[in-house]
Structure 1
Amino acid sequence: MVDIQLSDAEKTYIIHGAQDNLRIDGRGCEDYRHLEIETSVVSNTSGSAKIRLANTDILVGVKVELGEPLPENPDKGRLEFFVDCSANATPEFEGRGGEELATEISSMLARAYDCPSCLDLKQLCVVEGKQCWVVYIDVLLLECGGNLFDAASIAVKAALFNTCIPTLTVTQDEGHIELELSDDPYDVQRLDVIHAPCIVTLSKLGHSHVVDASQKEEACCLARLILGVTSKGTVTAMKKEGSGSLDVSSVQDMLETGKRVGQALNKSLMEVLLSDDKVGKSKGVTGFLR
């Protein structure tokens, strides 16, 4: 994470405020900051989305290409995550400074989506054991303002919702397979992402925990729990970060909060995406979680 320097007095003020359910920007412990989402922002992709969460700015582009399925999943397509931390986001990312963070985010996204109930990868199968759609998801971190994992996951879900996959006609003649791509640009299939997870990061501040921590709050946090949560409240991935420890009761409380907040986050996000899709708009601007 990007470091920010605070005095001991500032840290004490932030921690005591969180314990009273009043954060320095006026939010409660379970409130997200204002969030802006825009889809269809990159023309040469199969789907794209851009998210701005306070000062965190992330762009996601999705491209689908034909490839071979994995031997262990011959009847499924696959997802490939790539994360790049732009040097413009912070001087710490110059050179190879952002590689470790990029790997952490891409790994967490892959783990969160590695659940059969999240996304039906069978709809990406073209010819079992031979051809499938491979979905390449590129995440570009443009600016840092805290809570990078959550913001990246929201942008990924929005971009996958926006993704259009060309319709293919498969013909077989004496063992020879031919694939014909539809000439109609509107003859496409969409991914069902209603159960795709969002990541919820819970940061421990003193005896309390908060969601959507700002950079200053992250500087006061010694331990955080990162959860992949679906619209049904299913936890698909979990990771603990930070040098501090978490006791069993804290982990249980944070899990319950994460599931509750994750369900609300997924519901609100899908409502915004579906609403904009129905009216034919490509842009949704909202502070959609409390």
Structure 2
Amino acid sequence: MADVNLSEAEKTFILHSVQDNFRDDGRSCEDFRHMEIETGLISNTNGSARVRLASTDVLVGVKVQLSPVDPENPEVGRMEFFLDCSANATPEFEGRGGEELASEITALLTRAYGCPSTMDYPSLCVLPGQQCWLLYVDILLLECGGNLFDAMSLAVKAALFNTKVPNVTMTKDEGGIELDVSDDPYDFKRLDVTGAPLVVTVNKIGHFHVVDASEKEEACSLARIMLGVTQTGTITAMKKEGSGSLDADSISDMMESAKKVGVLLNKSLLKALGEEEEQGTEAVGFLR
């Protein structure tokens, strides 16, 4: 939850604005703020993206590496998430202050992408039972301005969309099978991120709820749920935070809002990224 000090009058104003479905910045309860996305920023990665959502700023780089397969899943590729909370984002992250938040976010992303339908993991298997592509997804939080889970999931999906996986040729010899990774920058395959989920955080404020909460709105919220939502409305992960309780009806309503917003947000993101690629530009801003 956001650590923002508000007066009782400010809290009352925010509560009433949410109740009237007209928030202090003019949005309705199910509207996202304008965001800016850039891809292809980091030259030494296979894919990268940067997302600015209000004052939250996130940078993601994806590197692919041949690795032994997971013995429990020998015919699919793998993905691992790492998050570094820069001390420049907020003084609270100095020293080891950001480790708990990093663990929470990477754990939720791991669960959200753990559903087999989110990515074409079999296509990342190079040699069944032996070698596969391992995707290292490195996230850097540059500035902390609220709604971190959602912003990071947007940056992750954009970076995966931008990722280029080198093609591999296999040759047999007396010693077995030899793998040759192409170093031609134009000899690659792209990842299918159509089913990749986005995290939608729904904050309960009074008897109502909002998506993409501002820092002030987060300070008024006693409970929130984060859900991984795909373009088809499938929920792949769920997490509840906050000291406040949620009854069954509230959870059901919040999940429906997350699914509705998540479906539209996924479609808007893929449409914007596709248009960006066609135009050959590297920056795109869009509204849900």
Q: TM-score range by the shorter chain?
A: over 0.9
The DSSP-based 3-state class of the residue aligned with 1:88 is: coil
Partner of 2:198: 198
User: Following superposition of structure 1 onto structure 2, how do residues 270-281 of structure 1 map, counting pairs within 5 Å?
Assistant: 270-281=270-281
Q: Distance in 1 between the 2:220 and 2:49 partners?
A: 31
Query: In the alignment, residue 31 of structure 1 is paired with which amino acid?
Result: D
TM (norm. structure 2) is: 0.98
Change in CA separation of 1:139 and 1:49 when aligned onto 2, cut-off 3 Å? same
Q: Distance in 2 between the 1:242 and 1:174 partners?
A: 60
Gaps of 5+ in 1: none
In the TM superposition, what whole-angstrom CA distance separates every residue of 1:206-245 from its partner, at most 9, and x where no partner exists? 0110000011000000000100000000000011110000
Query: In the alignment, residue 208 of structure 2 is paired with which amino acid?
Result: S
Shift of 1:283: 1.8
Q: Distance in 1 between the 2:283 and 2:14 partners?
A: 35
Partner of 1:89: 89
The DSSP-based 3-state class of the residue aligned with 2:280 is: coil
Partner of 2:111: 111
The DSSP-based 3-state class of the residue aligned with 2:50 is: strand
Q: Which moved more, 1:155-164 or 1:271-280?
A: 271-280
Q: Distance in 2 between the 1:164 and 1:87 partners?
A: 31
Q: Which moved more, 1:217-226 or 1:4-13?
A: 4-13
The DSSP-based 3-state class of the residue aligned with 2:37 is: strand
Query: How many residue pairs align between the two structures?
Result: 288
In the TM superposition, what whole-angstrom CA distance separates every residue of 1:26-77 from its partner, at most 9, and x where no partner exists? 1110011110000001111000000000000000000001101111110011
Change in CA separation of 1:39 and 1:6 when aligned onto 2, cut-off 3 Å? same
The DSSP-based 3-state class of the residue aligned with 1:263 is: helix
Q: Distance in 2 between the 1:254 and 1:71 partners?
A: 38
The DSSP-based 3-state class of the residue aligned with 2:135 is: strand
Partner of 2:218: 218
CA contact (8 A) 1:31 1:211 kept: yes
Q: Distance in 2 between the 1:280 and 1:18 partners?
A: 40
Partner of 2:284: 284
CA contact (8 A) 1:2 1:92 kept: no
Q: Which moved more, 1:177-186 or 1:265-274?
A: 177-186
Moved over 4 A (4+): none
Q: Distance in 1 between the 2:185 and 2:197 partners?
A: 29
Partner of 1:69: 69
Measured on the aligned residues, the alpha-carbon RMSD in Å equals: 1.0
User: Following superposition of structure 1 onto structure 2, how do residues 1-290 of structure 1 map, counting pairs within 5 Å?
Assistant: 1-174=1-174, 176-286=176-286, 288-289=287-288
In the TM superposition, what whole-angstrom CA distance separates every residue of 1:160-213 from its partner, at most 9, and x where no partner exists? 000001100012234611111224210101000011000000000001100000
Q: Distance in 2 between the 1:45 and 1:239 partners?
A: 30
Q: Distance in 1 between the 2:278 and 2:194 partners?
A: 16
The DSSP-based 3-state class of the residue aligned with 1:277 is: helix
Q: Which moved more, 1:272-281 or 1:68-77?
A: 272-281
CA contact (8 A) 2:34 2:285 kept: no
Gaps of 5+ in 2: none
CA contact (8 A) 1:227 1:236 kept: yes
